Structure formats: structure tokens, C-alpha cells
Structure 1
Amino acid sequence: MSTVTLTAPASHIPATRTRLRLTTRGRRVLASLAALPIAAAVAVGIIGGGSAVGSGDGGAPAGTFDTVTVMPGDSLWSIAQSVAPAQDPRDVVAEISSLNQLSSSGVDAGQKLSIPAAYSTGS
């Protein structure tokens, strides 16, 4: 049987640390990688920024509508019938809901609703 003995080699050369050196090409690649998230964020902002612009429709000028206070027991349908008895109540309810930005047809007593000028008592 044979034995193996391990010994460290006797080295008189001191261990030197190597320093990382970047070439010009390496610096360009590193700078590009660092700038990539910023460029992507700017691109998303430019492309998606137009979605915040409102429509080109003009809003109702000030003073072109009357207001009605909702009484207990009133509904949009009854208000529509009282302000425009000759019109289809469905159309009037839709216009009142749109003007007041109502998400549902429910209204509360004491709530003030704007009525379009076409159905106001002054016209």
C-alpha cells in the first residue's frame, strides 16, 4: 500500500490582487444597461401620457342648467316626468344622470340635481 502526503508548495511569489479594468466597449455596455430602465420609463410616459387628455367635447357653459332638490319619495323617473312631461322619461333620466355624473339611478332626499337647460322651466 502506498501513502500520499500533501504539502503546500513553497512559493516565494507574493499573491497579487488583480484589478478589474473596463475597456471602452465595456464602459459603453455598462452605461447602456444602467440607462435602459430610465429610457423605458420615459417611453412609457410619452406613449401613455396622451390617455389623460380629456375628450374634445365642450362642457356645459355655466348657467345653462337649473337645479332641483330631491324630496323624500322622489326618484329620477318622477323628477324626469315633472321637469319634462312631453319627453320620453328614459331620455331625460339619461341626460340628468350624465350631467350629474350619477353611477346609479338612486338619489337621496335633499340631494341637489342639475337639470339640463332644455328641460328647465325658464325655457
Structure 2
Amino acid sequence: MSTAFELNTPMATGRTRLRLTRRGRVVFTSLAAVPLVAAALAVALNGGIAAAESSTVGGVVTAFDYVTIQSGQSLWQLAEDIAPTSDPREVIAEIVNLNQLPSDSVQPGQRLALPNDL
């Protein structure tokens, strides 16, 4: 009499390997990468804000004053208002450099950091 299960035969107790399909590897990698990408994006976005908020030079933290551009206001007018005895071209160049502006054009509502040495 032969049965499918015999008591005298040893059972195999070897380990089975987990095998992922290509789609499984893509899903697993994506799930692992999402938090890393989110963290990198947060650091990149907040890094720019932190650079504008304060600057560390030689271990000394420098805080900036800010101004919000009003409707019809230009950098030239702003430079004359904040440093009436200085050359407006030099003040504009410092503001553009400090705020990493692509040009000297500004928009109403734009918030700009002002140099402290004016």
C-alpha cells in the first residue's frame, strides 16, 4: 500500500529564496527611494531659504533685514530709500547679489533681504 505521505521519509527543511520579478524590484526600489527623494527635496528647498535668512561668516551668524517690494517700486527707488548717501548702483548690485536675483527687475510683493553694511 502506497500513500502520498509516508512517515519514514525525511522532509526537506532547506531555505527558500525570495525571488522578485522585475516589476517587484521596481516597486521595492521605488518605495525605498521615495523617502530619500522627499528628504533631498526638502533639504534643497529649505537650504535656499536658510541661506537667505542668515549667513555664517567666520563662525558669526548674520541676520538680514527684509523689505517687500511695493507696486511701482524699483530697485533704484529702494536703494535711494535705504541708503540715501550711497551710490544706488552699488546698493542695487549688493541687493541683486545677496538675493541671487537673475536681473535687477523686481515684482510687487517680492521679499528681498537687505545688506547690513549700508
Normalised by the length of structure 1, the TM-score is 0.46
Q: Which has the larger radius of gyration?
A: 1
Question: Which is strand-richer, 1 or 2?
Answer: 2
